[in-house]
Each structure stands twice: as structure tokens, then as C-alpha cells.
Amino acid sequence: MADIFYRDQYRMSALGFEHSMVTSGERIMQWLPTYDIRLELEDDYERALSFSEESVTLDGEEAQEVTVSFSLSKATEFSFDADDGVYYLRQHGGEYIDGNDDTQLSVTNILILRTSVSYIPGDSEGRLNVTTTGNGDGYFVCGGKYIEIEWSRDDDNSSQFIYTLADGSELELSCGKTYICVIPIDNEVTFETLD
């Protein structure tokens, strides 16, 4: 699949080699059909994510400002705009900008998943082992509020994440963009109300 990806020279110089591999919709459409990859869902495929036709209204705690700490050097801030019905993103002291159109990124739903994260033993590059199977807890944030959720995923590469409420019922998201934060179990997440 090397043809689908390329190294963005600006990102290499400004963000480092590990953050420079990118692609585009045009490249994907051009090269994907040349690989032996199934491009259509199987007839019995069921999507794990459920989206509501109506905007989801949470019976939860206030979350107009949400800060998610991914590591000592990276946190993302989400600020809810009630007029637009979305959270606008900030990181590294400024607006999180879409490189394609220079607009501030925004999302409707935020999923925050807590899991086990550890350094790979003996790895000199500082790479991490992130557990994405089994189960854990987290938060769902939407419409200026948050609730606690549970996540689970079977131990194979093709399984989807399943998200449920505390009572075991299925989590329903609002239609729109969703940002999924996977963070170490003990990392800080703060929820604030705007004055």
C-alpha cells in the first residue's frame, strides 16, 4: 500500500517523521482497487455504532469545556458552542486547524476510552502498547453534557468496539463527526461549565 501514502514535507520538518505519513481521498480512490482488499461489506454485516435520527440529549453532568490529557506533552481541549451544536477543538495552545481548509476542527460526539497503556519493553524509540481489546470504562460527551459509559471489544482484528450505558443498554450517538480519545486509565479528564 505504499503508493497510497506519502510523506508531507512540512509535517516532517514541523512535527517530525512519525507524524508525516498522510494520504488523500484521491490517492485512496486511485490505488485501493489495485489491492486485494474487500471493498464492500458482507451481507450479514452489522454496524456497532448507533446514530439517532434526532439530536441526542444526555441526562448527564455539564461538559461545556472538556480537557483530555493524552500524555504529559499532549492534551486536547473541546469547547461546546450551543449555537452550532458542536465542540471546537484546541491543542498546543491554539485552535486545532484543518490543514485542508484552515477552519477550526469541530465534532458533535466525543468518546473517551480508558485503557491500559505501557511502554513496549526494550523498545528504544519509546513506542507504546495500547490495549484495544477486552473492556473498560469511559465517557460519552455530546450537547454540552457527559455520561459514563462502558466499552468492549473482542480479541481479534476485525471486531468492532461496543459502547453501552451503565445499565447495559446501547449507546446512541448524534449524527455528525465523532472524536474518539483513547487514554491511559489514570490520565486526567476535566469537565467544566462556562460561566
The pTM of this model reads 0.86
What is the pLDDT, as a whole number, of residue 147?
A: 97
| Average pLDDT over the chain, rounded to an integer | 92
Low-confidence ranges of the chain (pLDDT < 50): none
DSSP state of 149: E
Instruction: Return the pLDDT at 190.
Output: 96
What is the C-alpha to C-alpha distance for residues 35 and 42, in angstroms, rounded to an integer?
18
Write the DSSP assignment of 69-135 as a string of letters: E-SSS-EEEEEEETTTTEEEEEETTEE-B-TTT-PBPEESEEEEEEE-EEEPTT-TT--EEE--SEE
Cβ 104 vs Cβ 83: under 8 Å: no
Query: Which H helix or E strand runs over 181?
Result: strand 178-184
Please state the CATH superfamily assignment of the domain spanning residues 43-192 in this structure. YerB-like (3.50.90.10)
pLDDT on residue 134: 95
**pLDDT tens digits for range 151-163:** 999 988 789 999 9
pLDDT of 195? 66
Q: How far apart are CA 106 and CA 108, in angstroms?
A: 7
Buried residues in 96-130 as b, exposed as e (16+ CB within 10 A): beeeeeeeebbbbbbbbbbbebeeeeeeeeeeeee
Cβ atoms 109, 178 nearer than 8 A: yes
Can you give the pLDDT at residue 1? 58
What is d(CA 149, CA 112) in angstroms, rounded to the nearest whole number? 9
pLDDT at residue 129, as a whole number: 94
The structural domains of the chain, with segments of one domain joined by +, span 1-39, 43-192
